[in-house]
Structure 1
Amino acid sequence: MDDSPGLITTPLTDDLVRGALDLERTARGGLLPHRLPARARAQFGGDEQVAQAESQPSGVRLVFRSRATAVEVDVVRTVVGYRGVPPRPDGAYDLHVDGEPAGRATASGGDLVTVDLDDGSQETVHGPVGTVRFGGLPGREKTVEIWLPYTETTELIALRTDAPVAAAEPSGRRVWLHHGSSISQGSAAESSATAWPALAAAVGGVELVNLGLGGSALLDPFTARALRDTPADLISVKIGINLVNRDLMRLRAFGPAVHGFLDTIREGHPATPLLVVSPILCPAQEDTPGPAAPDIADGQVEFTALGDPSEAALGKLTLRVVREELARIVEERAAEDPELYYLDGLALYGEADAAELPLPDRLHPDGAAHRRMGERFGALAFGPGGPFGGRP
């Protein structure tokens, strides 16, 4: 951590952070953003997957007004790596000035958690505080946004600038609350700001709250309650891929679980536009049930479905089965819920897209595919006639 001369230290307060559902004050005096509230975190049952995902701040950003031309943010990041797999690139911090991309930086230091995929054991090596720096900003009064990385748990320690900082006034834009899997969290995108929900939010002119939870879009009641209790003007839930690749439930349980999830959301948002999105194309699991497992060869990871296609007749879930069931459920419910809508995930990424932009690990879209999905969701959901259409 540097004490840079000539810079003003501004206390990190809740009103400087957007996109988080909870902010934990740490022993260092910093802020740790959470994307699920404390009540939900108390109900994980020790699941490290969801604990890791919700603490990785996809869509969370520092937002403030200032004439500053230089900005520094001290952070302690927690990076998760896997034994035998090359480390991922450092998480990207994207700078936006008055809503436009204006720079990208990374942080050093922090804690490294190494996971052994064979037995699930973990080893943690602690590191120092790191600093994210941006310079050369325009000297005018402006809104500065710093998008935190979706790949790293990020504890915010200090904010320094060369001009005073003030909290930005609320944007007045509609709030879009979105829940989904690792694809919604941003997996394989370049950054949080270039994950498909963030790109779609820019198209729609809305304020994003991203509850994409890698490996953890599992129709959990605590997630449904978090969606129910979070203020929002628009809501979408992308359901399916994690239920299939974790082989979590059968068709008999899936339908009632979807109904219960939607019922809970509707308790807090009885008339809010609510869009149910089915899975994008994943050839490995279209007709083959889970579970799915990572296969590591030459340092590269590919996901393989381990189920037997014939088991779908016995009620095991495939992506094709999930899409059919979601479409049926939404059609039935829409008769009494005119603000409930359905979007086929194949309209975001389908067979032609897979031929042009194949999934690098057979599960997650790359940066180019995220951009395409963001543009398409923006047009289909926020465009004329879309469920989220209308004036931003």
Structure 2
Amino acid sequence: MQNWITTPITLELLRGALELEPTEVGLLPHRLPAWARRQYDDPQLEMVESQPSGVRLVFSTRATAVELEVRPTKRVYTGAPPTPDGVYDVLVDGKLVDQATVPGGNVLTIDITTGAISQRPGEIGTVQVSGLSGDQKTIEIWLPHTETTELVALRTDAPIEPVAGSGRRIWVHHGSSISHGSNATSPTGTWVVHAASLAGVEPINLGFGGSALLQPFVARTLRDLPADLISVKLGINVVNTDVMRRRAFGPAVHGFLDIIREGHPTTPLLVVSPILCPMHEDTPGPATWDLDALSRGELRFAATGDPADVPAGKLTLNVIRDELARIVGQRAAEDPNLHYLDGRDLYGPADNAELPLPDDLHPDGPTHQRMAERFAELALNGPFGATASSGPGR
């Protein structure tokens, strides 16, 4: 019989999470602090900020076997193809050695046509890893990036201890579902995490699916985090939720950047515009489910706005890019550590011809890899990364 040692799960063992909330079965990692969560009443953001994109357990041990008890929350969209179980990536000394899924758990059912949400409680499951060497090593367990995960218990067959800071630069990133990792096949396969790995930086991912809407509480969260590098990928959710017009967008971007600069006056700050998304390049939002595709068992999106409304202030991705480039150019005259990257340099027309967006909105796994390689080259290992000299914090 295995002689298990149970170690309490604390923030010392977690990276990428800002808080742990006690639940009736364990602890729920959050990517927004409690004070920020109190400032919104939005089921979409509530769901996605609790999905642990970029969150991982990290510890040092001689253990040859590890068990992590969890209770996942799965999403089911009525009428849509089933969502695959979330993947746990297990790394030893930085190398992927195993992957696992946990069936069961809570089920969150979302009605596509009405937006109604219901939840059915489920059982606890276990991630099991065995056959590891008995040498001292660093183990990382990356949690599923799009599956809310309550942490119940961590067991090993040898003692564990937290790993001291890596000494690597801390990169804090904010963005939409593309940054969150939608359609990536595993948590270390999202473009943000893979880019961080390629550049040797420590990521904190505040990508929130459908929810990058220039909220001040997100800017204040970015302001208060330690960071050597900060990037904000803005625009697609503002268009596909149709939440503001051009007249409001510019001042909102200025305010968002102003708040970040309160805590990081000289930290390299990169503004990234949207990647290519043909349906929204010149057509405003809102976006909605493509019901014709859904009737064929396909999950796709469609833009429903009218291009004729653009002169009156409706936003498209081309309008957003022009505005972001103008704002950064204006501010950079007094802020030499502020930079701009056109998202089409990460995924543009030629990429779309080769690797079209499978649901017309989100990149697939190979596209995440391509975006990661380009972001590492153009930003993290390029002029943006090279200017990092202010150190973490304020």
Q: CA deviation at 1:364?
A: 0.1
Amino acid in the other structure paired with 1:333: R
The residue matched to 1:387 in structure 2 has which SS?
A: helix
Matched, 1:19 2:16: yes
Query: Which of 215, 237, 242 does residue 220 from structure 1 map onto?
Result: 215
* Structure 2 runs not aligned, ≥5 long: 390-394
How far off its partner does 1:380 sit? 0.4
Do the aligned residues in 2 keep the contact of 1:64 with 1:166 (CA within 8 Å)?
yes
Task: Kindly state the Cα deviation for residue 126 of structure 1 after the two structures are TM-superposed.
Answer: 1.1
Q: Distance in 1 between matches of 2:119 and 2:258?
A: 40
Question: For residue 122 of structure 2, what is the aligned residue in structure 1?
Answer: 127
Query: Structure 1 residues 55 and 388, CA, compared in 2 at 3 Å: closer, same or farther?
Result: same
Q: Please give the secondary structure, in 2, of the residue aligned with 1:235.
A: strand
Cα displacement (A) at 1:315: 0.7
- 1:317 aligns with 315
Q: What does 1:1-392 align with in structure 2 at a 5 Å threshold? A: 5-28=2-25, 30-44=26-40, 46-295=41-290, 296-383=294-381, 385-389=382-386
In 1: Cα distance, 2:360 partner to 2:134 partner? 45
| Contact persistence 2:60–2:136 (CA under 8 A) | yes
The aligned length equals: 386
Report how far residue 204 of structure 1 moved. 1.2
Report the residue type matching 1:305 in the other structure: A
Q: Distance in 1 between matches of 2:360 and 2:103?
A: 30
After TM superposition, the structure 1 stretch with the greater mean CA deviation from structure 2, 10-19 or 214-223, is 10-19
Moved >3 Å (runs of 4+): none
Would you say the 8 A contact 1:251–1:317 is kept in 2? yes
What is the CA-CA distance between 1:365 and the residue it aligns to? 0.1
Q: Which amino acid aligns with 1:7?
A: W
Distance in 2 separating the partners of 1:265 and 1:193? 27
- Structure 1 unmatched runs, 5+: none
Q: CA deviation at 1:297?
A: 2.7
Kindly provide the amino acid, as one letter, of the partner of residue 267 in structure 1: E
Measured after TM superposition, the shift of residue 108 of structure 1 is 1.9
What residue is the counterpart of 2:392 in the other structure? none
Q: Structure 2 length normalisation: TM-score?
A: 0.96
Cα distance between partner residues in 1 of 2:162 and 2:10: 9
Q: Distance in 1 between matches of 2:284 and 2:362?
A: 17
> 2: distance between equivalents of 1:180 and 1:389?
22
Residues 1:391 and 1:245: Cα distance change in structure 2 (over 3 Å): closer
| Alpha-carbon distance between aligned partners in 2 of 1:391 and 1:263, rounded to the nearest angstrom | 19
The one-letter amino acid paired with 2:18 is L
CA distance in 2, matches of 1:245, 1:138: 49
What is the deviation of 1:48? 0.3
Offset at residue 24 of structure 1 (A)? 1.0
Deviation at 1:138, TM superposition (A): 2.2
**Offset at 1:151?**
1.2
Displacement, 1:14?
1.8
Distance in 2 between residues matched to 1:81 and 1:150, nearest whole Å: 16
Q: 178-187 or 77-86: which moved more? A: 77-86
The aligned amino acid for 2:339 is: Y
Distance 1:347 1:275 in 2: 14
Contact 1:54 1:213 (8 Å CA) reproduced: yes
Distance 1:337 1:135 in 2: 51
Q: Which amino acid aligns with 2:127?
A: V
Residue type at the aligned position of 2:38: A
- Residue type at the aligned position of 2:324: L
**Amino acid corresponding to residue 242 of structure 1 in structure 2:** N
- Please tell me whether the aligned partners of residues 284 and 307 of structure 2 are also in contact (alpha carbons under 8 angstroms): yes
Which residue identity does 1:187 align to in structure 2?
Answer: S
RMSD (Å), alpha carbons: 1.2
Question: Distance between the aligned counterparts of 1:255 and 1:297, measured in 2?
Answer: 39
Per-residue CA deviations over 1:316-358 (Å, capped at 9, x if unaligned) read 0000000011000000000000100000000000000000000
* d(CA) in 2 for partners of 1:92, 1:137: 19
